[in-house]
Structure 1
Amino acid sequence: MELDGALPYATALAVRELLEHLDLLRPDISDAGNEAHVPEELIGGERTRAFLKIQDGCTQFCAYCIVPHLRGPETSRGRSELVDEARRIVATGRREIVVTGIHVGRYAYGLVGLLRDLSAIDGLDRIRLSSVEPVEVENDLIEWLATDPKACMHLHLPLQSGCDETLRAMRRPYDAATFAALVGRLRVRMPDIGISTDLIVGFPGESDDLFAATLAFVERQAFSRIHIFRYSPRDGTPAATMPGQLSNAIKQARAKAVEKAWKASAASFHRRFVGRSLDVLWETQENGLWHGLSREYIPCRTVSDADLHNAITPAIVTAADPDGCTARIA
């Protein structure tokens, strides 16, 4: 599927994280970095974050997705092996580990137990989850996010559609009300949590009315970020032969409508932090500005003569827009 949204702060690591989010949708993207573990070349050098793949495989068989045929059944790596690898990552100077997998929430040996093991590693400052299927978010995971000081206050929940009829056609295992209830629970427990999602537009049979239902749902959920995809058929998937295949022009128009809604909700989310302090992990300097990410997965920028690379500092937000926040070092 084609990407219609883009990360304004597009460092190499940010792009790689996006590819992890797309894993269910784009099995034809280069598979670099999708091995059963993070190879040494990905944990060396001057980077600030590293990716720890804890699980692979899928048996969900969504109508649009070829991944179950390519990756096979679900497998999980052992906890002690993962903790040992995380320690090696931290020894290279990384401040943050991003936990990844096709179905992170189905990690076979206890996801929250693993996260607690990782949190106990000296020198590791942050743990971020790359993507969790909505039906796999349990109460213990919510409590870990809300209470562990190393947990990043952000969750990526793949939605794909906000319309029940389309979700059924996609063979997604939830309805819009269930998804909205989960978002509500997360925000009650963590009012400032950043919630991002994936959305497919132009799925076969998606009428104007069905898309309107999705767009209204997206506006109500007020996501901090949306990765938008125009549906593209994959040979061997049920959706590829469904009636009601839509034109590229319709898909493009719908992608733009979703992008407009996302930009508005992102700007609103970012503005709530104006005048407040965010802890930012600074990563790169471009055109005189340092760029980094807050725990809430908000791209932040600041002017500083200091070398901020790989530093975590409090930063007071002075301005906000759809792309992130401008801040000054506190």
Structure 2
Amino acid sequence: MANADSTPRELPDPSALAASGRRVFDIEASALQAVAARLDGAFSEACRLAYHCTGRVVCTGMGKSGHVARKIAATLASTGTPAFYMHPGEAGHGDLGMVTDADLVLAVSYSGESDEILMLLPVLKRQGNVLLAMTGRPQSTLARAADVHLDISVPEEACPLHLAPTSSTTASMAMGDALAVALLEARGFTADDFARSHPAGALGRRLLLHISDVMHTGDDIPRVGPDASLGEALLEMSRKRLGVTAVVDADSRLLGLFTDGDLRRTLGDRRVDVYATTIGEVMTRDPVTIGSEALAVEAARLMETRKINALVVLDDSQRVVGALNVHDLFRARVV
């Protein structure tokens, strides 16, 4: 409850505030070092049990430990270990039905005496669930009931009142991250695997979106034959609005390319007749191209490196199957 005196206290000077912040970092850094020094066979066994779990890792905890457990579940799930968070209070009123006998339960409680979690232990034991416990008290009820106990005790909380969970929650989250990363490495989890569970994120777009997903195809591809006049090529470029046209033979194999940049250079020569000059005379031969199975991010990198704004897409037989420009990559949020 707030202090009855609503008169705001005078804020300390900026240097005192910064010093307070640095003190928190120092205390929590020391806490993490203390926990890291205790990583031993229990941690390895916890990893082994989670690795061989044929179900999911069910993370649970109350209060601040519940927030930590929720974050651990999210990190595990996104790095190759199926997991979800279960509120221990709701579990006692039906949500325990989400837990199967193939699941492993990870319970987080710094005291190791959270009533809501202890209430679940007989049911979990009867069902045969493996129980991992994260506590700050190795002799607590939860720690003694667990198949594996991970000691997250810290020398002190960063809270000057020694009341608010600070160092202890940081240590808990670090332990969860350590588990997730150790399992990630053990599974050989790759960036591609990560992207598949993050399709809506920037990494997902970079690693999952292919050229074929963003390129223009069919009648939307700007293309003309080598005997077309420069004027006809300009009309094709204007209609298709990609700033480029492919020059192809009768089998749609690429012969060359003509871009807005080529147009500016060509028109700089006043002797050029746009109606008499064929596109084959002024096109760029052996232009930069890309394959349809390439990632969209590769097209972005290629455009940036070669300082171009558009690409034609070729199949294995050098036939033109698509075209795209930098605006297509912007729309796809690749760049």
* TM bin (shorter chain): under 0.3
Calculate the TM-score normalised by the size of structure 2.
Answer: 0.26
Answer with 1 or 2: which has the greater Rg: 2
Larger relative contact order, structure 1 or 2 (CA cutoff 8 Å, min sep 6) = 1
Query: 1 or 2, which has the higher strand percentage?
Result: 1
Calculate the TM-score normalised by the size of structure 1.
Answer: 0.27
Query: 1 or 2, which has the higher helix percentage?
Result: 2
